[in-house]
């Protein structure tokens, strides 16, 4: 009997679910052989790679981080008490699906979500609202304005699955071996030791100048931050750890743009195709390349 694998509990712009089959050819051989016991993901996002690695490889301990405190609150709540998340999310689902005007209900929840201040280590109401909005907003996007307020409009789905009870419970079980932190990614790098695999999936460098559509934290992540990340990547390479990083490929727009090729010069760089899922114009959604940077080589890499 085939076991049903857990999947990310959120839809996520730039999520890596569609690339997992390609990643399996790129993961370090040491991970596949079971030599790697510690996994670190400094920009966890939707967690597609996290859940893939936790379920398919012999990881004993994982560390995840993200600067988005509302997102991290969800991971913490689901790890601590999935049943409470399910209880509150189930109410939201039933009320939304039976509402005479779903848009009005959506914006009511969105307003409440923006009013809740995260003060406690766990806020289950904020967590449930976060997941609800993710499942019912336009394209499952998470975007905030300059004041940090969630401002994605209603998505108008016919029959969205908002409370996936079985998957939430499964995710909770997997997260028991995960240490969760919120803050600057550099802090989690202190966890790096021997036989550690790190996957970096930072906010992507925009392919179009001034494109803020996929921003999910008001602090942003500009070219100087990308350069600083590359410096940290190089410093980690001096340790006995394995590194993999994803980012956008500026050559989709300008063949002469060697930004990432330059700052990651000396490392293995592979380009893979992915579908651009978030765009205001449906005609402009299609296959583009993304870059994968590694400090190791795999014979299968073409």
What is the model's pLDDT at position 212? Answer: 46
What's the token pair of residue 189?
A: 């790098």
pLDDT at 193 over 90: no
Q: Which CATH number characterizes residue 251's domain? A: 3.40.50.150
What is the model's pLDDT at position 94? Answer: 98
Report whether 52 contacts 20 (CB < 8 A): yes
pLDDT at 264 over 90: yes
Residues 79 and 160 in one domain: yes
What is the pLDDT averaged over residues 5-20? 90
Tell me the C-alpha distance between 162 and 142, whole Å.
Answer: 16
Residues 136 and 197 in one domain: no
Residues 272 and 200 in one domain: yes
Residues 162 and 83 in one domain: yes
Residue 297: pLDDT band (50, 70, 90) is confident
Q: Which CATH number characterizes residue 133's domain? A: 1.10.1020.10
Asked whether residue 55 is assigned to any structural domain, the reply reads yes
The better pLDDT of the pair 4, 92 is held by: 92
Residues 139 and 201 in one domain: no
What is the pLDDT averaged over residues 9-33? 92
Report whether 66 contacts 47 (CB < 8 A): no
What is the pLDDT averaged over residues 211-226? 69
Tell me the C-alpha distance between 117 and 218, whole Å.
Answer: 16
pLDDT at 217 over 90: no
What does the mean pLDDT of the chain come to?
90
Report whether 167 contacts 66 (CB < 8 A): no
Residues 59 and 145 in one domain: no
Residues 200 and 289 in one domain: yes
- For the ranges 7-21, 76-90, 118-132, the maximum mean pLDDT occurs at 76-90
Asked whether residue 178 is assigned to any structural domain, the reply reads no
Residue 1: pLDDT band (50, 70, 90) is very low
Asked whether residue 26 is assigned to any structural domain, the reply reads yes
Asked whether residue 172 is assigned to any structural domain, the reply reads no
pLDDT at 2 over 50: no
pLDDT at 261 over 60: yes
Which residues constitute the domain of residue 101?
75-166
What is the model's pLDDT at position 20? Answer: 95
Report whether 78 contacts 50 (CB < 8 A): no
Residues 194 and 278 in one domain: yes
pLDDT at 209 over 90: no
Asked whether residue 196 is assigned to any structural domain, the reply reads yes
pLDDT at 236 over 50: yes
Domain total in the chain: 2
pLDDT at 27 over 90: yes
Residues in the chain: 302
Residues 91 and 148 in one domain: yes
């Amino acid at each position: 009997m085939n076991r049903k694998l857990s999947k990310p509990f959120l839809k996520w712009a730039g999520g890596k679910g569609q690339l997992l089959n390609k990643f399996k050819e790129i993961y370090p051989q040491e991970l596949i052989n079971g030599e790697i016991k510690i996994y670190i993901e400094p920009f966890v996002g939707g967690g597609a790679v996290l859940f893939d690695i936790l379920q398919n490889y012999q990881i004993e301990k994982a560390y995840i981080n993200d600067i988005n405190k509302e997102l991290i609150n969800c991971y913490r709540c689901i790890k601590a008490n999935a049943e409470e998340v399910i209880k509150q999310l189930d109410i939201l689902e039933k009320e939304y699906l039976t509402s005479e005007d779903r848009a009005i209900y959506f914006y009511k929840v969105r307003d409440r979500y923006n009013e809740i201040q995260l003060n406690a280590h766990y806020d289950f109401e904020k967590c449930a609202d976060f997941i609800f909005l993710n499942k019912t907003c336009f394209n499952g996007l998470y975007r905030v304005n300059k004041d940090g307020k969630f401002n994605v409009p209603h998505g108008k789905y016919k029959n969205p699955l908002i409370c996936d009870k079985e998957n939430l419970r499964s995710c909770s079980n997997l997260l028991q071996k995960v240490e969760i932190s919120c803050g600057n990614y550099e802090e989690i790098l202190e966890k790096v030791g021997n036989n550690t695999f790190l996957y970096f999936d930072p906010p992507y460098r925009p392919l179009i100048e001034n494109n803020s559509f996929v921003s999910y934290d008001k602090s942003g992540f500009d070219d100087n931050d990308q350069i600083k990340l590359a410096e940290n990547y190089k410093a980690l390479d001096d340790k006995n750890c394995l590194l993999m990083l994803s980012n956008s490929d500026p050559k989709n727009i300008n063949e002469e743009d060697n930004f990432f090729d330059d700052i990651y010069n000396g490392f293995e760089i592979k380009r893979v195709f992915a579908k651009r899922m978030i765009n205001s114009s449906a005609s402009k959604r299609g296959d583009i390349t993304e870059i994968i940077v590694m400090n190791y080589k795999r014979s299968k890499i073409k």
